[in-house]
Structure 1
Amino acid sequence: MGTAETVPGVSGGTVALVVGVYDTAIGSASRLVTGARLALADLPRGRGFSRAAREFRQVPWGLIVPLLLGMFAALVLMAGLVEGWVEDQPVQSRALFFGLVLASLWVPFSLAARAPRADGATGPWRAGEVLLALLGAVAAFVIVSLPPGEVEATPPIIVAAAAIAVSALVLPGLSGSFLLLTFGLYETTLSAVNDRDFGYLGLFALGALLGLASFVKLMQWLLDHRQRVTLVVLTGVVAGCLRALWPWQDEDRALLAPDEHLGAAIGFGVLGFVVVAAFAVAEHRAKKRREAAAVRAVEGHTGGGRHRAGAPTP
């Protein structure tokens, strides 16, 4: 996820969906935001830390701590490498990420099909849901078509840009790095990471916290109360954002016909697709094994209980 966030056009949220940690990450972030808010409200009034601690205890730290450490390490270690590769090999790098994101479309698509509708039923997409996904795709397509800009990196601009970019981390399909590129702050931010510019990074972290606090609660509510509709829209958004990863485009993001490096682009695109498809298949099989083990455990417990009670074993 950390490496993905250094690449314009690739979303860390998409990676979280593919590897199956998206819901947990959003729920944990929501708990952390609520806990921090309660601590800030209760401690100055002498009400103690109990309400905040209750929220913090519900965070699965065994997952979240390694996840955050991995993201931070990737941001620090990969920023320079990814920046150089994207600049030196733009066609090949975009082709690789196009294949990655194209394969990842299956994840929100299939999750939406399994999510319940308003009436509690599940099943294939309906015509209205397809239309809703198309609207999401069009909106994302328009956003990622905006030409790159250039703004002065003043403290208010840095905080605002970070708040918007980190919201894209929560939203699969939309890339925070791509939004920074649109604002004209992508290279400045990567340079700050590489040069350890802690003044800039502190302002960026402040904006990121503000963005998370304002957006993550919304996503948590949508996933809790409008899960199917949310996943349908996310599928459309991820599809629309593929426009940003078309391998051949000019500096103003105008799409071009395939010309040079066609063979390499196809190869990298297929490689990216296969990598994500392998992750998805492995996760699906692991989930099936976990479900089968849970069923066997329940059946064994029930059978053992009946046997001890003198009832015939089924």
Structure 2
Amino acid sequence: MHTITRHITDLLRGVAMAVADSVPGVSGGTIAFLLGFYEKFIGSASDFLLGTNEQRKAAFPFLFKLGVGWVAGFSVCVLILSTLFHTYIYEISSVFIGLTLIAVPIVIMEEKKYMKGKYLNLIYTAIGIAVVPLLMILNPATGGSGVDLTQASIGLAMYLFIAAIIAVSALVLPGISGSTLLLIMGLYIPLISAVSAVMHLNFAYVPMLIAFGLGMIAGLAISAKVIMYCFARYRSQTIYLCLGLLVGSLYAIVLGATTLSEPMPAMSWQTFNVGLCILGAAILAALQILKKRAEKKAEQT
């Protein structure tokens, strides 16, 4: 019974990460971090991609269950989001803002022993906050210029490959999500639409999605090692940077409507939905409460 429960838990962990990864805001890495299996996830990914045969065999069962849950969760989210994004962009963005806002104090509470007394590291938070607006200002795709993923070319494939490396690095890092970075680069909605189209048997998008997928694999192999090193040697600085990226991601979410194929105005106080923002915050807070209860129960047994 305990084994079955563990298998189901790992599948649900993958689903939770997929839901976070499919939307701009917090990353799947943030969810893994808040639910207490982040370092196991990063270590397993590193062992599977760069380790020995023994390490790969040991890491595979956990990653497989996590992966199955992730694919299932992401597929459902894509089918829903590809339709809703164009109709309810402000409502969905309000939920994302709530998720992001509540993640900041949760990360601080979880990592306070590594942050206390090291306030000079706030410079890394400032850097993280500045990165997102800077990328959006410098990015020529922002503003709805759009990317047609049915028009396969070597240049587009290279752009997607590099973008995937950057996005997956954020995906596994507690902080800004890979989806937010794709939003910044003008690729989030084209990719969500492309995946949805392939799921509806339109295979014109497949070549460019393969290029993006290869970039994700390369990015995961690189970032897993780098993140493990940063958390082992520079945990405080890394946490402060993650917090900055989280705060900075709010800027990208507010401007999310401007990246639609038919651009809409950025979110304003009139289009912001307070109730849905609270709902987003409540969802992440509930996950944190469940994690604390599970930890307390484990200590008692």
- TM class by shorter-chain length? 0.7 to 0.9
SS at match of 1:94: helix
Distance 1:187 1:77 in 2: 16
The reply on whether 1:208 has 2:216 as its aligned counterpart is yes
The structural deviation recorded for 1:247 is 7.9
Distance 2:60 2:109 in 1: 25
Q: Which runs of 5+ in 1 are unaligned?
A: 36-51, 116-122, 294-314
Q: How far apart are 1:150 and its partner, in Å? A: 4.2
For 1:107, the aligned partner's letter is: I
- SS of structure 2 residue aligned to 1:105: helix
- C-alpha contact 1:222 1:230 (8 A) present in aligned 2: yes
2:55 maps to 1:55:
yes
Counterparts of 2:32 and 2:264, CA distance in 1: 27
Identity of aligned residues (%): 28
- Unaligned runs of 5+ residues in structure 2 are 1-16
Give the deviation of 1:173 after TM superposition.
Answer: 2.7
Conserved? CA contact 1:151–1:183, under 8 Å: no
Alignment of 1:260-279 (within 5 A): 260=271, 262=272, 265-279=273-287
TM superposition shift of 1:144? 4.9
Q: How many aligned positions are there?
A: 266
- The match for 1:160 among 162, 183, 192 is 162
Q: Does 1:25 align with 2:33?
A: no
Corresponding residue number in structure 2 for 1:41: none
Aligned-residue CA RMSD (Å): 2.7
Asked whether 1:178 is paired with 2:167, we answer: no
- For residues 170 and 235 of structure 1, do their structure 2 counterparts lie closer, same or farther at Cα, with a shift above 3 Å needed? same
| Greater mean deviation of Cα atoms: 222-231 or 87-96 | 222-231
- 1:217 deviates by 0.9
- List per-residue Cα deviations over 1:64-91 (Å, max 9, x = no partner): 2221111111222221211221221111
Q: Which moved more, 1:240-249 or 1:185-194?
A: 240-249
Specify the alignment match of 1:82 in structure 2. 81
1:139 and 2:138 are equivalent in the alignment: no
How far off its partner does 1:270 sit? 0.7
* Counterpart code for 1:192: A
In the alignment, residue 21 of structure 2 is paired with which amino acid?
E
Structure 1 residues 290 and 236, CA gap change in structure 2 (3 angstroms): same
What SS is found at the alignment partner of 1:91?
helix
- How far is the alpha carbon of 1:248 from its aligned partner? 8.7
Assess, with a 3 A threshold, how the Cα gap between structure 1 residues 128 and 245 changes in structure 2: closer, same or farther: same
The answer to whether residue 114 in structure 2 is matched with residue 98 in structure 1 is: no
- Any idea what SS the aligned residue of 2:269 has? coil
The TM-score with structure 1 as length reference comes to 0.74
The structure whose Rg is larger is 1
